[in-house]
Structure 1
Amino acid sequence: MIAIPLPFVTSLLLSILAVVLFYRREQAAQATFIFIALCAVTSSIVGFRWETDIAVFKVLQPVLASCIPGVAWYCFTKSHRYKKSYFIHCLPPMLVVIGSLTYPFWRPPLDPFLAVLYVAYGIALLKASLSSNGIPEKVRLSDFPNTQKAESYAGIMLIVSAVIDIFVGINFAFYSGANALNIIAIGYCITLPLLAGTVVVVSQSVVQENIEMDSNEESTSRLMVEMKVSYPSVLTEEEMKKIVSKIDLLITEKEVFLDPDLTLDRLARKSGIPAKQISTSINQVYGRNISQVINEYRIERAKQLLISTDKTITQIYFDSGFQTKSNFNREFTRITEQTPSAYRSSQQDGK
């Protein structure tokens, strides 16, 4: 039986996923396709680097590896309104290219540099995922728990990759690299697919705003500059309560919670209040994030439908503003401590 090295197996699986994303031709998946293709090529280069003695692969491996954390970060910024400083993220790969090309002359510390780079990006992603006001503005509010986990897992995987590089360095220092190939192969086989998975989760949760705005939304969008003046970066308790009151009114009267693609960005546009101010105010006043608050309104609607109609649970979660049954079940159980079926049965038994 032919034995295929693990890096090539990983590359093949990632390539299949990249092809699927390419043919879907979704705008949100473009960056994801690039990232997964990069991971697939990197995994192949790792295989060639350790299975052959061709010099070009020794140069390409650190260069491609240095691109992975920056591209991963970019994929996650698609869900946020971060100011994208592309040059800063291009700088590490440029330095690695210079270091790789001049390696025979002065032996630059590429491995420690890559380890530090991965740790830095990993910490940045973890910090973003753990931020109390860090709800991605462009992600469906019902998908926020999943994207938050994906962002934190991506950060962890980058840090794990750095640890793997450290182990490889130790192996070379004390054992002449006897086990380096196995460490790298297993490490890439675990971290790259998991990283790719986290990026896919986020890309599927990002809402592309291609719809035309109604007249009210258009007028509020024109006032975004004025909004920043009206709502200072530091809000008083009274100002936060006013913002929450306005959001509550919008939710109850307009029933915006029924929009399955509702994002913090869209809510900000509809209300005329900056997204950051909404998120901060909801957190401070309710002690919960905007995603949880919106989902609570949706669950209340679902409870009403479970009691008053004979609709299927699938139809009910769609009619309540959810897109997936898993999100619906998770939030329903969180709020009621019952499954939807159990809740319906308990209400029928109580009549």
Structure 2
Amino acid sequence: MMVTYSSLRSHQAMIFIPLPFVVALLLLILFVVVLRRDEEVEPNRPFLVLILLTALQSVLSGLRWGYGVQTIGVIMPVIAAMVPPLAYAGVSRLVRTSRRPLPLRIALHAVPTALILSLMALWRDAIDIALVLIFVGYALAILLLMRPGADALRLAPFEGVVPAYRAIIFAAAALCLSAAVDTFVFLDFTWAHGEHALTLISVSNLAALVVLGIAAAAASRSRAPAEMVEVGPRLETSEDKQTIATIDALMETRQLYRDANLNLDRLARKAGIPARQISAAINRAMDKNVSQYVNDYRIGEACRLLAATQKPVTEVMFEVGFQTKSNFNREFRRVTDMTPLAWRQRKG
């Protein structure tokens, strides 16, 4: 989260542990959790670096505003400028594989940091405005990537697409929130000599906690008839019907939905159909995204296993392609409007 850097005037130090330190601790815990969760697969490195960078930024904010350590104000704008490019790079890894070579991508995303370094040497008063523009610009760029909805996350496994999509939207909102807070602090220094700066920064860190909480809640939430899953009415378009027939065949004959790592990109390769064509056909004909379509098959098979066998719910969950209880329960409720245990008891 950004803070205003052009004014380095001293303020009364907080007499308690600054809230930014609490935020940093929570971010470090989050980093450990994500690292352990992704230890069996290739991690999304931009997101991991982003978590560490925001933790460092929060610590520096606590030192600067909680204990009046003025010297660190020199490096804080540089760190702040790295946050939005990392967020965008992490989202890009779920959306598509960029055709640009890696050195060129790194160079492009290094431009904001280079700009801030140049302004620190040539025009310090413009740093705050530049940071606001960087944060808002990258937030808009992320939202532009997310225009197709959850289907934009072509490289994310279907199981977690909906929570990932929501978390990305919250991340873009957090960038805008940071820009708004920095603007308010800048105006406070300009018009009120920083009288409300400490309060604004404390509230902004509290808001960051709220945003993190909402993002976590979104990962555990995501409705349709209670019997076996059926697809909705299909649009009378020959190309859509042919596309869906091909995907249906893959699901029914090869049970492709059992692949826990299945994503839109992999589904498109197996079907020999462009990902955008699959997404458009399912969206038009069924009024749902591809992850919901695939998870409908998974839940349909889970319903059959729960009713016809005595397998534990966890075993059923893994067998049909889910890897986490939260995602399995969320999708099961979406499709059947009840929990897996309630479904089994009703059928039993």
Shorter chain as denominator, the TM-score bin is 0.7 to 0.9
Counterpart contact for 1:133–1:276, Cα < 8 Å: no
Distance (whole Å) between structure 1 residues aligned to residue 150 and residue 314 of structure 2: 32
Matches within 5 A, 1:14-25: 14-18=27-31
1:176 is displaced (CA, Å) by: 0.5
Q: Cα gap change, 1:184/1:133 in structure 2, threshold over 3 Å: closer, same or farther?
A: closer
Shift of 1:22: 6.2
- Contact (CA 8 Å) 2:20, 2:205: kept in 1 or not? yes
Matched, 1:293 2:310: no
Q: What are the Cα deviations for residues 47-96 of structure 1, in whole angstroms up to 9, with x where unaligned?
A: 333334544x2221111111111111111112121536443322121111
> In the alignment, what sits opposite 2:187?
170
User: 2:32 and 2:299 mapped to 1: Cα distance?
Assistant: 38
Structure-2 change in CA distance of 1:299 and 1:21 (3 Å): closer
Alignment pair present for 1:97 and 2:127: no
- CA change 1:54–1:342 in 2 (3 A) is closer
Paired amino acid for 1:345: Q
Match of 1:131 in 2: 148
Deviations 1:173-220 (A, max 9, x none): 222102213322432354279569969x99xxxxxxxxxxxxxxxxxx
Aligned length in residues = 309
> Paired residue for 1:42?
57
Cα distance, 1:11–1:87 mapped onto 2, change above 3 Å: same
Q: Distance in 2 between matches of 1:157 and 1:68?
A: 11
SS in 1 for 2:75: helix
Distance 2:327 2:33 in 1: 24
CA contact (8 A) 1:14 1:193 kept: no
Structure having the larger proportion of residues in helix: 1
- Tell me if structure 1 keeps the 8 A contact 2:150–2:161: no
Aligned partner of residue 251 in structure 1, secondary structure: helix
CA-CA distance at 1:122 after TM superposition: 1.9
TM-score normalised according to structure 2 size: 0.79
Shift in CA distance, 27/299, structure 1 to aligned 2, threshold 3 Å: closer
- Per the normalisation by structure 1, the TM-score is 0.78
- 1:188 maps to 205
Specify the alignment match of 2:251 in structure 1. Answer: 251
What are the within-5 Å matches in structure 2 for residues 311-350 of structure 1? Answer: 311-348=311-348
For structure 1, the 5+ residue unaligned runs are 203-235
Aligned residue among 75, 98, 108 for 1:88: 108
Residues 129 and 149 in structure 1, CA contact (< 8 A), matched pair in contact too = no
Partner of 1:63: 78
Contact 1:250–1:256, Cα closer than 8 Å, also in 2: yes
* Alignment of structure 1 residues 25-36 onto 2, 5 Å: 27-36=42-51
Can you list the C-alpha shifts for 1:326-346, whole angstroms capped at 9, x where unaligned? 222222222222322222233
Out of 116-125 and 171-180, give the one that drifted further.
116-125
Letter of the aligned partner of 1:294 in structure 2? V
Would the alpha carbon gap of residues 27 and 338 (structure 1) be closer, same or farther in structure 2, given more than 3 Å must change? closer
Query: Secondary structure of the equivalent of 1:322?
Result: coil
Letter in 2 for 1:41: L
**Any idea what SS the aligned residue of 1:79 has?**
helix
8 Å CA contact 2:149, 2:165 repeated in 1: no
The match for 2:17 is 4
Distance 1:53 1:118, change over 3 A: same
Query: What whole-Å deviation, never above 9, does each CA across 1:207-247 have from its counterpart, x for those lacking one?
Result: xxxxxxxxxxxxxxxxxxxxxxxxxxxxx943333222211
Q: Distance in 2 between matches of 1:71 and 1:149?
A: 18
1:329, 1:16 → 2: CA distance?
A: 25
Identity value in percent: 35
8 Å CA contact 1:62, 1:96 repeated in 2: yes
Q: Aligned pair in 2 of structure 1 residues 249, 143: CA closer, same or farther (>3 Å)?
A: same
Q: Letter of the aligned partner of 2:107 in structure 1?
A: F
CA root-mean-square deviation = 2.9
**In 1, Cα distance between equivalents of 2:120 and 2:197:** 19
The correspondence of residues 161-310 of structure 1 with structure 2, limited to 5 A, is 161-191=178-208, 194=211, 237-310=237-310
Partner of 1:75: helix, strand, or coil?
Answer: helix
Amino acid at match of 2:246: K
Q: How big is the shift at 1:144?
A: 0.9
- Residue 254 of structure 1: how far off its partner (Å): 0.5
1:252 CA displacement: 0.9
